[in-house]
A and B are shown apart, each in its own frame.
Chain A
């Protein structure tokens, strides 16, 4: 019974985290363009940083999943990401300006800027999927089905986050406020993980 209560929560969070992840990538352009221009180079830096962060997150998730296969581990990762996002609006301009002053505006600079902005929080969010798959998998023959569902839901979240951020949020709310909204959404996800009852340990 208790394991059933966990699955919807995990999928809901997979969707929200996926949405925030891509939404924040789109927002990253609004933070970077004023300092480094709006060309394809800036986009390449943003996209590659996001994918690097996901790779880091997946590897980190797979490394810690056997030691800390708990909701608390995922919740903590999401909470730290939320805190990081909450700090972005107040600090981003100073950081971007420092990078512009010291590194300039080339590829090294746009990569540094997108790394400073995105790498830590998105890596933390990247740990979600492997941990979630592990939490929802009760037997080895379920693994593929669960992984497919988690990644599918998360990717739909990616799509929703990209489109909503670009076409609804950026034209109607400021970039800084959107960042705060994302931080709050992540914090709520973390809270949900902390309060949802855990399922009993998998019987071997």
Chain B
């Protein structure tokens, strides 16, 4: 799972989550781990346990877990990731790339116990910590695999109705998980009527290129973003075929809300839905280029902030 935004060491996720900002000293370090890929810090701030990755003396929140309620999704954008449920024609199998502390995957598993949920996480240490501190256990229909998301897909022949992508490592997404070739592999693993959801940080020019790249493979793009500024991240929905009508989505949403008893109703998420025209230069810079395996200057794009641009 992953990424809210960077914060100075010690300051922390609380500010964003409305968990209380004044008491920056409240968190207690439960464990730190230097893994092959990350410097991982697990903090406790009752009732939350928080997984962060350290980069450049900053901590990047990857996961917030409510220890008293394993079906809660304290981070706003993670709720929006579940909007996928109203897009997918069928919901038999779900794949997540980037597990982190596993809140979204676990939420989906809890509310859809008959659906096969698979999550791929690069870092085995992250998986170990998720089992130790984040209430993740081995259960039927819940599968974890430790490998690179793209390598997993390239070697898999399975199809999925929903593919969730949230592979931030601190502030970065590896370039090979952002290219047109990657999304072509993703599309090849989508079942009929399937949908891709991706968490994207909108602060830099990388956002424009990322969205344009997804759109080059899956033509229908929609954004979900909290309307109360509680979370800057934008969840991007991408699918093939004609644009979904709001009424049709609302019908599916209300049906699945009832059938599944979802904690965070799909019908409410429709209020923050926005269909995106990729040719609208107000939303996506005309200069943004589709990223490919050959040319993907993600570090450079990441360094360019989106100044005063009209955010979706």
A39-B37, A41-B36, A105-B147 known; A34 vs B182 contact (CB < 8 Å): yes
Whether, in the assembled complex, A174 has its beta carbon less than 8 Å from a beta carbon of chain B, the answer is yes
**Pair B155/A100 contact, Cβ less than 8 Å:** yes
Set of chain B residues within 8 Å of A34, measured between Cβ atoms:
150, 176, 179, 181-182, 293
Chain B, residues 275-286, CB within 8 Å of chain A (1/0): the string is: 000000000000
Whether, in the assembled complex, B93 has its beta carbon less than 8 Å from a beta carbon of chain A, the answer is no
Whether, in the assembled complex, A197 has its beta carbon less than 8 Å from a beta carbon of chain B, the answer is no
Whether, in the assembled complex, B175 has its beta carbon less than 8 Å from a beta carbon of chain A, the answer is yes
In chain A, positions 158-181 with a C-beta closer than 8 Å to chain B are: 170-177
CA distance A30 to B148 in the complex (A): 15
**Pair B36/A105 contact, Cβ less than 8 Å:** no
CA distance A170 to B301 in the complex (A): 12
CA distance A38 to B147 in the complex (A): 11
Interface residues on A, range: 20 to 34
Whether, in the assembled complex, B122 has its beta carbon less than 8 Å from a beta carbon of chain A, the answer is yes
Q: Which chain B residue lies CB-closest to A41?
A: B36
In the assembled complex, the CB of B175 is this many whole angstroms from the nearest CB of chain A, namely 7
Whether, in the assembled complex, B297 has its beta carbon less than 8 Å from a beta carbon of chain A, the answer is yes
Set of chain A residues within 8 Å of B182, measured between Cβ atoms:
34
A37-B122, A40-B37 known; A105 vs B155 contact (CB < 8 Å): yes
Set of chain A residues within 8 Å of B259, measured between Cβ atoms:
none
In chain B, positions 25-84 with a C-beta closer than 8 Å to chain A are: 36-37
Of the candidates B151, B181, B294, the one whose C-beta lies within 8 Å of that of A175 is B294
Whether, in the assembled complex, A68 has its beta carbon less than 8 Å from a beta carbon of chain B, the answer is no
A36-B151, A100-B154 known; A171 vs B292 contact (CB < 8 Å): no
**Pair A38/B174 contact, Cβ less than 8 Å:** yes
**Pair A30/B293 contact, Cβ less than 8 Å:** yes
In chain B, positions 132-181 with a C-beta closer than 8 Å to chain A are: 147-148, 150-151, 154-155, 174-176, 179, 181
Q: Which chain A residue lies CB-closest to B179?
A: A34
Whether, in the assembled complex, B227 has its beta carbon less than 8 Å from a beta carbon of chain A, the answer is no
Whether, in the assembled complex, A152 has its beta carbon less than 8 Å from a beta carbon of chain B, the answer is no
CA distance A39 to B169 in the complex (A): 11
**Pair A174/B292 contact, Cβ less than 8 Å:** yes
In the assembled complex, the CB of B151 is this many whole angstroms from the nearest CB of chain A, namely 4
CA distance A41 to B292 in the complex (A): 23
Of the candidates A39, A40, A175, the one whose C-beta lies within 8 Å of that of B148 is A39
In the assembled complex, the CB of A35 is this many whole angstroms from the nearest CB of chain B, namely 7
Whether, in the assembled complex, A148 has its beta carbon less than 8 Å from a beta carbon of chain B, the answer is no
CA distance A104 to B156 in the complex (A): 12
CA distance A51 to B292 in the complex (A): 29
In the assembled complex, the CB of A26 is this many whole angstroms from the nearest CB of chain B, namely 12
CA distance A81 to B179 in the complex (A): 29
Whether, in the assembled complex, B114 has its beta carbon less than 8 Å from a beta carbon of chain A, the answer is no
CA distance A113 to B294 in the complex (A): 17
Q: Which chain B residue lies CB-closest to A36?
A: B151
Set of chain A residues within 8 Å of B179, measured between Cβ atoms:
34
Set of chain B residues within 8 Å of A38, measured between Cβ atoms:
148, 174-176
CA distance A30 to B181 in the complex (A): 13
Q: Which of B37, B151, B175, B297 has the most CB of A within 10 A?
A: B151
Q: Which of A38, A172, A176 has the most CB of B within 10 A?
A: A38
Chain A, residues 24-59, CB within 8 Å of chain B (1/0): the string is: 000000100111111111000000000000000000
Q: Which chain A residue lies CB-closest to B293?
A: A34
Task: Give A contacts to B, CB under 8 Å.
Answer: 30, 33-41, 97, 100, 104-105, 170-177
Q: Can you report 5 residue pairs joining A to B where beta carbons are below 8 Å apart?
A: A35-B151, A38-B148, A104-B155, A105-B147, A177-B294
Task: Give B contacts to A, CB under 8 Å.
Answer: 36-37, 122, 147-148, 150-151, 154-155, 174-176, 179, 181-182, 292-295, 297, 299-300
Known: A35-B151, A40-B36, A173-B295. 12 other contacts (CB 8 A): A30-B293, A33-B174, A34-B176, A34-B182, A35-B154, A38-B175, A39-B148, A40-B37, A105-B147, A105-B151, A105-B155, A175-B293
